[in-house]
Amino acid sequence: MIGAETLVRTLLACGVDTTFANPGTSEMHFCAALDRAPGMRSILGLFEGVVSGAADGYARMKGKPAATLFHCGPGLANALANFHNAKKSETPIVNIVGDQATYHAPLDPPLASDVEGFARPVSQWVKRVMHTETLGDDASEAVQASYRPPGGIATLILPSDVSWNEGGTVGQPRPIPKRAKVDARAIREAAAVLKTGEPALLFLGGAALTLGLNDAHRIAAKTGVRLMAPTFNARIARGQGRYPIPSMPYPVDEAVKLTAGIRHVILAGTGEAVAFFAYPNKPSVVTPKDAAVHVLAKPESDAVDALARLADELDCPPAPTLNRPPPPEPARGAMNVEGAAQTVGALLREDAIVVDEAITLRGPFFAGTRNAAPHDWLQVPGGSIGDGLPLATGAAVAAPDRRVVAIQADGSAMYTIQSLWTQAREKLDVTNIILSNRKYAVLLHELKAVGAVAGKTALDLFEIDRPELGFIAMANGMGVEAARADTLEQFADLFRHANARRGPFLIELPLG
Amino acid sequence: MTVSVAILDDFQDVTRTLANWDLLGPRASVTVFNRHFEGEELVRRIAPFDVLVLTRERTPLRRDLIARLPNLKLVVTAGMRNLGIDLAACRERGILVCGTESGSSPTAELAWALILSLARRVVDEDRALREGRWQTTVGFGLKDKVLGIVGLGKLGSQMAKIAQAFGMKTIAWSKNLTTERAASQGCTRVEKLELFREADLVTIHLLSTERTKGIIGRPEFAAMKPTAIFINTARAAIVDQDALLDALMTRKIAGAGLDVYDREPLPADAPILKAPNTVLTPHLGYVTRESYNVYFPQALEDIEAWLDGKPTRLIAEQ
């Protein structure tokens, strides 16, 4: 069996049955092998950043890795920004990078590059396969490595001759590494802290934000500890029937004010609350300097189990009954961001997946959907923009029975707007809401926050209204139906329509 | 022997008064259903009957349904053509199918009611006036506008004649339409997409067959002017309903007048009910006093003739 077929069959044997790809010449044998070894859903992205972001969105919802397929170092380099986000989201991905043949690379052909050098900063495992005979085993190791807690990118570099040579043997699936249970001492320490009654913050991340919320609320109800999530998270379970969790405000001053007086910070599945950026005369860690930090569970440990054990250690009764107000009514009148957010909160379908790359408009949408139907909320923990539409694309592949709603700022939408084409081609149920304020609004905020003074030239770099971006025409040009909502009534009608139909749809909201 | 007769889908409860069913005397008992049935309920309701009286295609008689109607001996349909009846399945079971004349062709008139209502925003203005608002829209006139007629048969030709009386230009397309036939009706024959590109109003008058299923879809709506109006009084199956809904919701077209739907009666939660700039009627095309006055007395005649052993107006397989 040739290497390429060995690889596809090994991936399938290891449970990896979806590939997001943007292939080139060195991956031709892999592509051909997809027809010889059926069972792999292969999805084309028209830019590598679409592919890497979609693989991230897929694994966040599916709980298992997809494969990505790229062409040489430059192809991988195009994928890196969204791989950075995937790394920060602790997402397992099996990343296959085709490269020059082993004997050709030393001659330094045009596409020869330091693939390992591109891969290492975002990968938790990198291996160049040198022999077809070991490819099956290496691929199986790559799948296992992607699962290694907390989960990450495993990059397998595949020279083209390894791919086309005979001699491959299908690799056997390896055990999936489990997250380690935390030591009993960590549980006892956290319990002791909480029993003091001193003001404390339980800072939750990772799986604790989906599976650990119930136990976190048991603990909070018993001890009065405050609960909070980082500003941006890979996935939070929200809405009716779920225990609410506030997230740390992005502006440092707000975060500092909100956590003032906290004496203890207990970390469960995440690190300390570090500000997105440094600002002159502002702290880097937003919780009080003199607060003691206690690690209940590191990101790679089993925080969900730790919370359950901590709740038991504290003899917490079952979680208090949820008493949420019903979802809001759709808003009416002139277009405005709070009204649009309220309308999303009113009309979001049960079990929807919301992808949030709203940037400066995140706050109103997060608040407006608090009491919406139960949903999952996906963000961009790595902060590298241009991930919203790819994440939505991948999430829709992973969850074909759920509606995906992308709440997408206009400037960052333009990084990976090609995602719409993949959504149309794969007939994915995604409602893309483009928040058109025609500017890099976040930079105007940051300008003020860092204390810089901008003139006309600088301000011109933050405006994206000349010429006007035609999102409707761009969507139509990629096979996606689209419309603009000038009033909240129109938005409600379009949002209902988009969510009820099959396939992707784009709604542009003028919020300038 | 008394035969049992069921009259289906008499939504307006008028068949009792439109024909003197007492003339059947003790030979038949007549039951009238005013509500539409589907699925298992339909089977349960109509299985006992010997004779079914159908109003056009309101309740289709497909092969699988016919197989579950053990007593059925005679089907009487309004009109001489009912594409909802599986004639072969009826023949195999020895079930006779009779029809009636159709009287006039009032569907073209309804199409004009929809066109004029949309052009002059009659429904919107009526609603606004009752809510206390005076003049809320600005409509458009028909003179010099282009009417695109898809299907230039009997109804399409009537549409052309009336359009010409309004001073409109008429263009037409169907697969088999010749330039000469179009010219004989005062129309210019154009290609399909050209029709959708040029017309200010598009009206559909094709028969619903396998060949015309979904013949109007996304490319056609994409070609239409954003100011153009779409009228369908023919059959929903001719038009890709999802594409039509998208075209309306995204305002790619200015509006639609629709009399036919993929599900009839239209469910209360049908998305088309939320579409902007639409005038919707409940499949009224053939529903006039004049039509009914032909359908139901002749349906009664059909049953009498069959009871007398001299069935009349039999519908043959095409």
Contact yes or no for A99/A105 (Cβ under 8 A): yes
Residue of B249, B251, B252 best to disrupt the A interface, most CBs of A under 10 A: B249
Instruction: Let me know: does A21 contact A45? Beta carbons within 8 Å.
Output: yes
Question: Could you tell me which chain A residue has the CA closest to the CA of B271?
Answer: A497
Task: Looking at the complex, report in whole angstroms how far the Cα of residue A472 sits from the nearest Cα belonging to chain B.
Answer: 9
Q: Which residues of A touch B276 (CB under 8 A)?
A: 493
Residue B38 annotated in active site: no
Torsion, Cα of B136, B142, B144, B148 (10° steps): 120
DSSP state of A197: T
Q: Please, what sign has the CA dihedral across residues A226, A231, A236, A237? A: positive
Q: Taking CB atoms and an 8 Å limit, are A481 and B276 in contact across chains? A: no
pLDDT tens, residue by residue, B238-250: 999 999 999 999 9
pLDDT, tens digit, 9 for 90 and up, residues A119-152? 999 999 999 999 999 999 999 999 999 999 999 9
CA-nearest residue to B247 within chain A is A481
Cβ contact (<8 Å) for B271 and A497?
A: yes
The DSSP bridge partners found for residue A226 are A201
A500: closest chain B residue by CA: B271
Residue in chain B nearest A491 by alpha carbon: B249
- What is the pLDDT at residue A446? 77
Q: Is there a contact between B274 and A482 if contact means CB atoms under 8 Å apart?
A: no
Chain B hits for A481, Cβ within 8 Å: 246, 249-250
Gap between the Cα atoms of A14 and A120, Å rounded:
23
Q: Is residue B205 annotated as part of the catalytic site, yes or no? A: no
Instruction: State the Cα–Cα distance between residues A451 and A244, nearest whole angstrom.
Output: 35
Among A500, A438, A427, residue whose Cα is nearest residue A471: A438
Catalytic residue among B109, B125, B264, B304: B264
Nearest to B251 among A483, A500, A501 (CB): A483
> Mean pLDDT of successive 10-residue segments in chain B (318 residues)?
94 94 93 95 96 95 96 95 93 95 87 98 97 96 98 96 98 96 98 98 95 96 97 97 96 97 94 95 94 94 95 87
State the residue for tokens 């349909």: B77
Confidence of residue A466 (pLDDT cuts 50, 70, 90): confident
How many residues comprise chain B? 318
**B220 min Cα distance to partner chain A (Å):** 14
Q: Which residue in B218, B224, B246 has the most chain A C-beta atoms within 10 A of its own C-beta, making it the best mutation to test that interface?
A: B246
CB pairs under 8 A between A and B: 26
Supply A357's token pair: 């790359």
To the nearest whole Å, the CA of B221 is away from the closest chain A CA by 12
Cβ contacts (< 8 Å) between B271 and chain A: which residues? 496-497, 500-501
Tokens of A107: 């001659």
Share of chain A above pLDDT 90, in %: 88
User: Alpha-carbon distance A376 to B165, whole Å?
Assistant: 60
Alpha carbons A299 and A88: distance in angstroms, whole number: 11
A501, B276: Cβ pair inside 8 Å? no
- CB contacts of A501 in chain B (<8 Å) are 242, 245-246, 271
The phi, psi pair for A484, rounded to 5°, reads: -105, 140
A497 to B242: CB separation less than 8 angstroms, yes or no: no
**Strand A41-44 relative to strand B188-189: parallel, antiparallel, unpaired?**
unpaired
Q: Verify whether the Cβ–Cβ distance A481 to B246 is below 8 Å.
A: yes
Q: B226 preceded by cis ω (within 30°)?
A: no
* pLDDT score, position B33: 96
**Does B58 participate in catalysis according to the annotation?**
no
Helix (H) or strand (E) segment spanning residue B97: strand B96-98
CB contact under 8 A, B274 and A493: yes
Check pLDDT > 90 for residue A456: no
Which residue among B242, B246, B274 places its CB closest to the CB of A496? B274
| Residues of chain B with C-beta less than 8 angstroms from the C-beta of A500 | 271
Closest C-alpha among A150, A124, A145, A92 to residue A268: A150
Give the pLDDT of residue A75.
97
User: pLDDT grade, residue A170 (50/70/90)?
Assistant: very high
Question: Whose CA is closest to A508, among A496, A495, A497, A499?
Answer: A495
Decide if A265 touches B, using CB distance below 8 A: no
Residue among A483, A500, A502 whose CB faces B250 most closely: A483
pLDDT higher than threshold 90 for residue A27: no
Q: What is the mean pLDDT of residues A200-221?
A: 97
- Closest chain A residue by Cα to residue B242: A501
A55-79 pLDDT, tens digit each: 999 999 999 999 999 999 999 999 9
Does the beta-carbon distance from A481 to B250 stay under 8 Å?
A: yes
Token pair belonging to B128 = 């606004």
Residue with token string 């608040």: A367
* Chain A 425-484, residues with CB within 8 Å of chain B CB atoms: 472, 476, 481-483
Which two tokens mark A484?
């603009």
The closest CB to that of B249, out of A472, A476, A497, belongs to A497
Chain B residues whose C-beta sits inside 8 Å of any chain A C-beta:
222, 242, 245-246, 249-251, 271, 274, 276
Pairwise CA distance, residues B183 & A64, whole Å: 65
Indicate if the pLDDT at residue A212 is higher than 80: yes
Cβ of B242 within 8 Å of Cβ of A493? The answer is no
Which residue in chain A has the smallest CA separation from B221? A481
Q: How close does chain A come to B257, measured CA to CA in Å?
A: 19
The whole-number pLDDT of residue A457 equals: 83
Statement: residue A394 has pLDDT above 70:
yes
- Cβ distance B271 to A501 less than 8 Å, yes or no, reads yes
Pick A440 or A315 by higher pLDDT. A315
Smallest CA–CA distance, residue A482 to chain B, in Å, is 6
C-alpha distance from A483 to closest chain B C-alpha (Å): 5
